[in-house]
Every structure is written in C-alpha cells, then in structure tokens.
Structure 1
Amino acid sequence: MTRYKQLHKKLLLLPAALLLLAGSSCKKDLDYTPEVFLSAQQVYKDQAGATAGVTGIYQQLQSIKKNEVSLMGIIGTDEMRFEYQAQAWGGYWAKVAGLDSYDITFNSQNDVMGYYWNYCYVGIANANYAIQYIPQIKNFADVTVQNRLLAEARFLRALFYFQLVQFWGDVPLRIENMPFGDGVPRAPQDKIYELIIADLQYAQQNLWVRSKTPDAGRATVEAAEALLGKVYLTLHRYNDAKPLFEDLINNKGIVLNTDYADLFNKENTAESLLEVQYSPQSGATNGLQNIFGASLASTPGGPTGSTTPGYGGNVVITTAWYADSLFDKVNDKRYAASITPHFYASSDPSSNYDWWVDIGLPHLKKYDITTSSGSIDIYNSAKNVIYLRSADVFLMYAEVLNELGQPNAALAPLNKVRDRAFGNALHEVPPTAQAALRDTIMDERSRELGGEGWRWFDLKRTNTLVQRVRTHDNPRPYYVARNGEGDPHLPQNVSDINYLYPIPLSELQNNPALSLTSQNPGY
C-alpha cells in the first residue's frame, strides 16, 4: 500500500447539510474522515486548503461504489442478478431487488436510486465550490498546481454528471451552488453533455500525468482521456473518440498487466487508470465482499471476521450466461480470476448450500478480500475498486473502429485483450463482418469487465438492454437438476422504458422547478 505525508484536511459545511468530506491521511492515498466544519471561503483560502477541499470531493465517488448503491449498472443486466432469498429481508432490499427485476419497486420511491442521485449531486455541489473558489486564490506557489486542482474538480463534476445523465437522461444542471430551495429545471441531455465534455477537455489539458501524480487515486490526464473517449463513444461520436484512444495507446503508453488476476489481487497497478481508494480507516471501507461474496472468504488466515465457512455474499450472484456459458473455462484465465464456481464450507468443499437456494451458485470473485490484508471483515473491505482501466480503452477502441467500418482494424485492440486472457495468440478472433463483430466485442467486454460497473451502460449504448436481459437473465438448469423445481427468481419485467431510471420522488417534491409531471415517461 502507498503512503503519503500527513495532511490534516478540513471539512466544508454546505447548504442543505451537504458535506465536503475530507480528512487526515492513513495508509493509502485519498483516505479521509470528518474533522471540523468550515465554510467554502475558509477552506479555499490557500494551496493547502484547496488540496484538502478537492481531495474531499472523492468521498462521493467512494459513496457510489461502496455498498448496494454500487449495484446500479451491475444487476439488471445479462451478467449479475439479485440473490433470490435476500428479497425476504424487508422493503429496502425488495427495492434493491427491483434494480434487477424491473418490477413495481423500480419507481421514483426506490431508496437506492435516491441515494445514488443524492451522492452524485453532493459531489457536484462540492466540485462547484472548488471550481468557484480555486481561481480566486492568490497565494498559490505554482499556478500549474492551481490549474491541476481545478482540473480535478472539473473531472469529478463531469464524472458525476455522466453517471446521472446515463441513468436519468435530462437532469437539473447545477453549475453553481444556489441557496437551498431555489429550483433548477431539468436540462436537455445535450446540454449536460456539453458541460461534461468541456470539463473533461479542461481536465485533459491540465491534470497530472500518471507518472507524476502526487497520490494514487487522483484523476490524471489518462483518466480524463479515457472517460472523454467513453463519453464520445456513448454519443456515437466515433470520429471524436478515435484519436483519444489512439493517443492513450500510442503516445501515453497505457498497458495491460501481464496477469489479469493482479487487477483484483493488487492495487493501483500499471493497468489501472483510476481506482476508488479504500482503507481500514473508519468511514473509508466498502462492503462489497458481503454484497458479492466468494467461497474463498472461508480461507484460513483470511481477514478477521471472514473465516466462517461459506461466510460472505448473499446479495448478488452471477447469471447462468455469464458464469456458465460465456467463458472458455479451460483456457481463459479470466474465468478463474472472476468467478467462484461454488460457495462451500472449508471442511467440506463439495457441500453446496441447498438450504439457501442461490448460495451454491457461482459468485463474482473480483471483490473477494482474502488477498486484501488491510480489510477488517466482510462488511469493511479496504480493497480498492477500479473505475477505469486500460483494457476498457482497448475494447472501446475496437468498438469505435468497427463502427467506423473498419472491422479488420478493430481486431488488433480486441485481440490484444484476448492474448492476455489466454496467454497466447491461439484464441484470437479471426476477420469477421461488422455486425457479427459487434456481438463479439460486447461479449468480450463482459468477459473482461464483468461486474465492474459498466455493463448497463454498454447495453444502453448498443440498444440491447431489453433483448440481452430477457435472453440471458433466465432460469438456471441448476434448479431443475438439483431441486426438481424451476428458477424461483422474480420474472424480468424489463422494457424500453427502463433505458431511463425514474427521477427520485424527493427531487420532484423538493425542487421548485419540477413537479410530479416532470417524471421520465412510463413511471
């Protein structure tokens, strides 16, 4: 784990109880806990305050990746689904399940959606303060550092708006903080994207390059280019995305790790372009081991609290397509690094948990904490979460080339990812037609990036959400073979209206510029 010098960061008290959370350093970069409450003007008065204030914005990125809120974009796809029996835990968890089944709980009163919305707007509010006050600071020792901190704030604002516009479409565009109670109408998506692109272009020109960034976990030029390229790809602006990906690959020298498993066994590796930093510090952990689980949680000598046989993981399982059909289980190294085929007791590896319908089924392994020495228990993982990485760039580049009518050229970046996965070139994709290669690239994105938070976005971008969820989130042969019954999961109700999420009711009620008629169609 990396260390950085002690920095006693301050907190900002914002209107409507919006908090800029920053704090003192611990064992890893960008760790923070609350200390004191100050106004924006008090925080952004010098270089140290600006550094602390911008660092605090990352806390909201932690918030959207640390627990069941992070399941937005992961379940309700062809990769992952909500565990059957956990739906009986109560109303809140029924709403989490609704993210997967698109049932009656997939509505404006879904708490998970509301939390996600609020976390993003807190991040935006905190970024807006940084963007407002950093240019006013007169005593920066180095104006380049001043511009870089401003670029970090603009990068993070763009990141939060990208998440919002993808899930909700037209959303309130807040580029400056106003008194609580002032209404902000929903802005058209193209206006949201204009701001996202402008922020990321500024970030691209002013951020640190990875080799010189002061702390792991901070946004860099490479991260800004990758996210901007993803935005252009999302908008089908392929000619704008292409040079960004080519610059990253040919000039910035992004690389793949030699070993795919290192992505999830080590932190801030060469392939990682942006990781969300977690640590054992209070308030800086995540609960993804418990959400996703893995049989290896029972490994003797694992983190404290994770040694109970079969313990950890009863919320999310894989779909049959992802775990059973997608991979070459013998030759593709990503299979063993991504999936735990059985959830078993250490004393009896053959024991599947028939008393809990889903527990014996394959689990996602990427968030397993048995290789994370700093983790406390299954509810408090100190393991980082990857947001952007090089393999995503190579696959996006392949998609761009294919959509530009260059399917043969698209094979080079696609097969670079496959060569790493198989350890040789024997399993490279041969020349194929553009339409067929679209499906191939989509499948490859799932093999490579499964469970990392981009799948819903991929399905939306390619207009395949409804078709793929209906086709691949289906009954498992397991239930018939072992229990003589059909799949007890709730049926999928996904439809075209689900290409947008419902605007949270709290926003419709509390934003004076909106009303109940401001809702997305179908909700």
Structure 2
Amino acid sequence: MKKIYLMAIAMLFAVGLTSCEDFLDSKNYTQANSSNYPASADDLNKELAALYGVMNQFSTNPLQTPWFVGYIMSDDANGAGGTGDVESHAIGHLMANKEDLFDAAWHNTYVGIARANAIIYAVDAFDWTGQETTRNQLLGEAYFMRGLFYLWGVQFWGDIPAYWASAAPDPCPQVSAEDVIMPHILADFTSAANLMSHGATTRGDGHATKGAAEGYLARAYMFYEGFYKKAGELATANLADVTFDFEQEGAGTSLSKAQVVSFLEDAINNGGYKLVDDFRLLWQYTNEYTVQDYKFVADLKAAGKSWAGNGNDEEMFQVQYMNAGSWSGTIGMGFVNQVELYCSLRCDDDGAGTANGDLNTFPFGQGWGQGTINANLWDDWSDADPRKKATILDAQAECDKFVFTTSCSEDAGYYNKKWMGITCANSTWDDHNDAYIWWGVYRKNNTSAANNNGNSMQGDHFSDIVLLRLADVMLMHSELTGTADQMNKVRARAGLDATTYSWQNIKNERRFELAGEGLRFNDLRRWSGKGGGASCEAAVALQRQDGSRVNYTGHWTKMHHGQGVGGSSWAQRYADTDGFIMIPPAQISIIGNPEILKQNAGWGSSASGANMSGCPVYD
C-alpha cells in the first residue's frame, strides 16, 4: 500500500517562478526574478514540483475543480448536500449563486499555464549533454501539464485568453478555442508523448508519463472532433488532419486520427499498465482494514485480496494527497482529497437523534452529502452488471440504518462509492476527530505522525483522484476504431459477456465503467456537438433529471430545474450555454474591454444572468 505521504513537495510554494504580472488578475502570483532563476536543472525540477502542486491548489475547493464540477453538472449526479449548499445546487443546475463562483478555478488555471510556460522556455538554459532523456522527460511533462490546464480551461469556458510564450502579452485577448487553442492543446500532448519515454519516471509517483500523454491526447482529440467539429460517431466520421501552423518541438506539423489510435495502442501495449483483476479493487472500500468486515466484498476477503492502492497498475494519471492539510495556509485543505468528504453520507440527523456515518452505515463515513447519484443512473443500470453496486451505494438497502437528515436535499439515497470516506472496524466511532476514517487508523497504527488536520472526518482522506486509467484508454480505442476488442476486455474484467461494437454500446460502456469519475458531462457534450440546441443528446440527458425522485429534509419529492432563469428547463439551459460555465465577472471588470474579454453566452454580463439565489424547485 502506498503510505499517507504520497508526494515530496517540501518546497512546493517556496519555489519562485519567472516574474511577470498576472495579466488575468489584480494580484501578482509569481515571485522570482527570471534574471537569476532558474540557475540549474535542480531549479527546474523544483519548478516542476510547483507545477504539479497547482492540482492541489485546485483541490482547496472541490466545487472549483474540473473533476467534481464536471461530475455534478452531468445527468448522473445531483449537487445535493444541505439545504443551504446553494453553490453545489447552482452548479448542478448549470447556474450560479454568486459572481465569484469560479474565481479560484480561473486563477489556478492560469497559474498552471504560467508555471508550465516558465519551464518550457527555461529548459535549454543549461547544457544537457549526456542527459538528453532527462531533459526530454522534463520538457515533455511541462508540455503535458500546459495542455492539461488549457484543456480544462477550454472545457470550462471555451474561448479564453491564451499565450504560448515565457510571459503573457499585454493585453492578452480571448482567442478561438476551436481554431487556436485546441490545436495547441493537441500539439502539447503530442510533444509530451513524443518527448517522454516509457519507464522514464516511476509510475504512480505523481508525474505524467508517456502513456498518460497518449491517453490525454486521445481525450482532447475526441473532444475537439466531437464538440467543436461536430463529427458525430468518430469511428465512421471522415476526419481531416489537424494542422499545426506553428513550430513546436516534438509536435510535427499535423495530427491524424490514425496517429491518435497508434498512440493509444502504444499506451495499452507498452505503457506497463494493466487492468486490476477485480473492478472493486480500484476503490478504497476494499482497503486492508475494511475488507475484513464489509459484507459486500466478503469474497475478496476469502481470496486474500484487498485494495490495489494509490498508483496501482491501472492508474495512468492522478491528483495525489498527503497528511498536510489544514483549514489555514496557502494550500490549506488542498493536500486532502476533500471530494471524499463532500461525497460522504450527509451529516446531521433525522430529527430523532439518528445520524449517518457510524456502525449503522458501515463502512461509509459521514460528510457533506454532496454529489449524490441521480436516481436515473440507478434505474438505467442493469442489476446484472456487477459494477452497478460496486459503484453506487443504495444506502437504504445496503446500510443497517440510513436516514435522510433534516437538512438533506437532492438526496435519493444513492451515493458514489468511488468517492466516499470509508471507515473500518477500529474506527473511533465516538470521536470523529481522532481516527474515524480508515486512513486515520492506518496513520495511528503505522506512523508517529499527528493528525495534521485535527479532524479525521474532515482531514483523513488521502486516496488519489484518478484522472485517467487504462480502462478509459481502452474504451477510447474502441470508440475511435469501431472495434469491440478493447471494450470487451473491460467488460470481461467486470464479468460481463462480450458484445459487438456500436456507437450506443460504447456510449453505454463509458457511462457505466466510468460512472462517478467526472467524465460523463464532457462525453455528452462531444457526442452532441457545439450548438446542438435543446434537442441534442446532452440536453435531453440533462432534462431527464426533471422529475427525478429526491428526498428533501426527510420528505420524498421530485426535483425540477431551479429558479431565476426565466423558467427555462435543463435542456434549454444547456442549449443557452453549451455547457460552458461563467467567466468570473471580476476578470471582465479588470480588463474593462469586451474586445479583450467578454462573458460567455447564457450568462449575461454577470451572475445575475443565471442566478440561483435560493434552493432548487421541488414538488
């Protein structure tokens, strides 16, 4: 098992970066002077650690992360939480409750881009003779991370300010995501894949690998062709090569579908990854402490198997965490996988003194109850698929006594097992501050480290957020090639019979294999195409949430689209925005020139264009 201390980032924020005013904010987030830093290859490695650390900066607020926001914006999840959790409700309804809702996401995106550019343009300040592989790996990782941050930015906001230089120009206007940014993203991932080598880093150590670059290249390519080029079924579409009208090391001059497929095959065959032999072993409820007593996985206990762990054979890229989180400091709780806290069983009680999260709901811990599973996913998913109950906790059926609390909302009793806090038999049930989550028990039994956060329920969450795994790469291969071989390997791992390729079959397979991992929303978008309107696949899927069963403060009701948007439906809301979120109005005010930066369609000039000032509408 990988221990709690997952990354050595001792100088994460002591490290300075090349100096330039952050043109996208009123504050300067960079510190060092480029005239004297970096001065060595070791300095660049420190900058690389700081670059990866931006993902922990994102993690300080799950409701500003691409993975959690994408999850609750999809049709398979509800914002949920408490009646006062208007942020999660707003995001789940494709709306906003305040103007600074996505300020930190915007800031972190551009900090990441700036840090990646700093490395790319400083890499040859030193003589790498005899160390070319090391140099190429470092440069490849920087290209990968720049591509990643731009991809997240484009999927969040669409047309955004962009630059590919050591410092941002002034001004730096919005440019076309379709025509300018996406080709650069594809070039960045291509450069990364060509510069890096298999085995150049220790897999699972938090660094990007060649295989991760190949997988993300396919993810970005499929979003580009599906969403922006409206290609429809990629296996049969006639896709023109993407031309790079700029020079970049390792990128070449163009990218074809055949090249993307070849990269995927290289990742699958030569990357050193393999499917974990039982789907349940991917998720921490099978950890060595909990598997002993959790009835659902009794067969794994009998076979002597337990959780594959962080950085397992199937993980290809992840966000890592360590025992350094607190509610204060620059990063604060960014070192904690707070998504697990957010997605755990709703705290408080049922009004009669019964609360969730202790022995009555073993092994699922207490938290904020956000990101609950929408009832439609449970209903649509066949019980014959073992992944259903391995992914979704039917709390009423599986727990000895689960209660809908007096503060719950948008809670159908279905929770995401992949992203929940887990307890074990030795948890401190009467003291959630001590060693309540199983990680806390592990920490207490195996280390002398203090509970840095001081609250086990809130702070003992150190499982990776898996951003890319081999099963996803295999399904992308089937979708691009129109062949079922890789898809059937994924199905076979789950104990399912082989099937034939069809566009609907691969869509279903992605929905179920990857459920609850934050990928569904952008899959729907790329299957729909930009400007798809209120009748496109994404809009129709989102509209099905209307009328879905939910519990609100202990009473069953039906969920409807929220207030403040002219009575529009989920489908119309998606059509109005194309799934893009609000550009922070403060950034638009700072620029003060709509020719440089303007708001996305469907959002007006501020959050008031789609404001959710109160709770969603229920029957």
TM over 0.5: yes
Deviations 1:344-398 (A, max 9, x none): 998x525444663445611111122325445863432222100111111111111
Shift in Å, 1:79: 1.0
Root-mean-square deviation (CA, aligned residues, Å) is: 3.4
Aligned positions, number? 474
Q: Is the 8 Å Cα contact of residues 289 and 313 (structure 1) preserved in structure 2? A: no
State the alpha-carbon separation in 1 of the partners of residues 407 and 52 from structure 2. Answer: 41
Task: Tell me which of 72, 75, 86 is aligned to 2:72.
Answer: 75
How is 1:402-441 mapped onto 2 (pairs within 5 angstroms)?
Answer: 402=482, 410-422=483-495, 425=496, 427-429=497-499, 431=500, 437-441=502-506
Change (3 A) 1:246 1:260: same
* Rounded Cα–Cα distance in structure 2 between residues aligned with 1:8 and 1:318: 37
Please list, as runs of the form range in 1=range in 2, the aligned pairs for 1:49-64 lying within 5 A after superposition. Answer: 49-64=43-58
Which of 282, 299, 319 in structure 2 is aligned with 1:276? Answer: 319
Query: How much identity, in percent, do the aligned residues show?
Result: 23
Cα drift, residue 468 of structure 1:
0.9
Q: How does 1:212-361 map to 2 (within 5 A)?
A: 212-213=201-202, 216-236=205-225, 237=239, 238-252=257-271, 254-265=273-284, 266-282=309-325, 283=332, 284-294=335-345, 298-299=357-358, 311-322=366-377, 324-329=378-383, 331-342=384-395, 349=401, 351-353=403-405, 356-359=408-411, 361=413
Q: CA deviation at 1:518?
A: 2.8
> Which one is further off, 71-80 or 124-133?
71-80
Mapped to 2, the partners of 1:4 and 1:438 lie a distance apart of 39
CA contact (8 A) 2:204 2:312 kept: no
Please tell me whether the aligned partners of residues 64 and 119 of structure 1 are also in contact (alpha carbons under 8 angstroms).
yes
Q: Shift of residue 140 of structure 1?
A: 7.5
Q: Secondary structure at the match of 2:282?
A: helix
Amino acid at match of 1:412: D
User: Are the structure 2 counterparts of residues 136 and 188 from structure 1 closer, same or farther at C-alpha, using a change threshold of 3 Å?
Assistant: same
Give the partner amino acid of 1:277: Q
Unaligned runs of 5+ in 1: 21-36, 403-409
1:516–1:50 Cα change, 3 Å: closer
What residue identity is the alignment partner of 1:69?
Answer: Q
| Aligned equivalents of 2:200, 2:130: Cα separation in 1 | 22
Q: TM-score, normalised by structure 2?
A: 0.69
Q: Which amino acid aligns with 2:320?
A: Q
Q: Normalized per residue, which structure has more helix?
A: 1
Please tell me the residue identity of whatever aligns with 2:585. Answer: L
Q: Secondary structure at the match of 1:486?
A: strand
Whether 1:44 aligns to 2:38 is yes
- String of CA shifts for 1:225-249, please: whole Å, max 9, x gaps: 0011112222335444322222222
Aligned residue type for 2:138? L
- Tell me the CA shift for residue 50 of structure 1: 1.0
The gaps in structure 2 that reach 5 residues or longer are: 226-238, 240-256, 285-308, 326-331, 348-355, 423-437, 444-450, 529-536, 563-568, 604-619
TM-score (norm 1): 0.80
C-alpha distance in 1 between matches for 2:412 and 2:6: 42
Deviation per CA, 1:91-138: give whole Å up to 9, x if none.
xx43442221124x27xx643333212211110011111112121123
**CA apart distance, 1:470:** 0.8
Asked if structure 2 preserves the Cα contact closer than 8 Å seen for 1:47 and 1:140, the reply is no
Letter of the 1:97 partner, please give it.
Answer: H
Amino acid at match of 1:278: Y
CA contact (8 A) 2:343 2:372 kept: yes
- How far apart are residue 340 of structure 1 and its match? 1.5
Question: Aligned equivalents of 1:4 and 1:168: distance in 2?
Answer: 32
Q: Does 1:506 align with 2:586?
A: yes
Q: CA–CA distance in 1 between the matches of 2:265 and 2:408?
A: 49
Identify if the C-alpha distance between structure 1 residues 6 and 318 changes in structure 2 by more than 3 Å, giving closer, same or farther: closer
Please tell me whether the aligned partners of residues 184 and 511 of structure 1 are also in contact (alpha carbons under 8 angstroms): no
Pair 1:301–1:202, CA change in 2 (3 A): farther
* Residue 364 of structure 1 pairs with residue 416 of structure 2: yes
Change over 3 Å in CA distance of 1:132–1:343 after alignment to 2:
farther
Q: Distance in 2 between matches of 1:68 and 1:450?
A: 18
Determine the structure 1 residue equivalent to 2:161: 172
**Secondary structure of 2:418 counterpart:** coil
Give a deviation string over 1:67-90, Cα, whole Å, max 9, x none: 12133211121111111x63x43x
Structure 1 residue 319, shift from structure 2 partner? 0.8
Counterpart for residue 205 of structure 1: 194
SS in 2 for 1:419: helix
Quote the offset at 1:326 in angstroms: 3.2
Are 2:475 and 1:475 equivalent residues in the alignment? no
Is it true that 1:99 corresponds to 2:91 in the alignment?
Answer: yes
Q: Secondary structure at the match of 2:120?
A: helix
CA distance in 2, matches of 1:48, 1:288: 33
Q: 1:40 touches 1:129 (CA, 8 Å); kept in 2?
A: no
Pairs within 5 Å for 1:179-198 = 182-189=170-177, 190-198=179-187
Contact 1:78 1:469 survives alignment (8 Å): yes
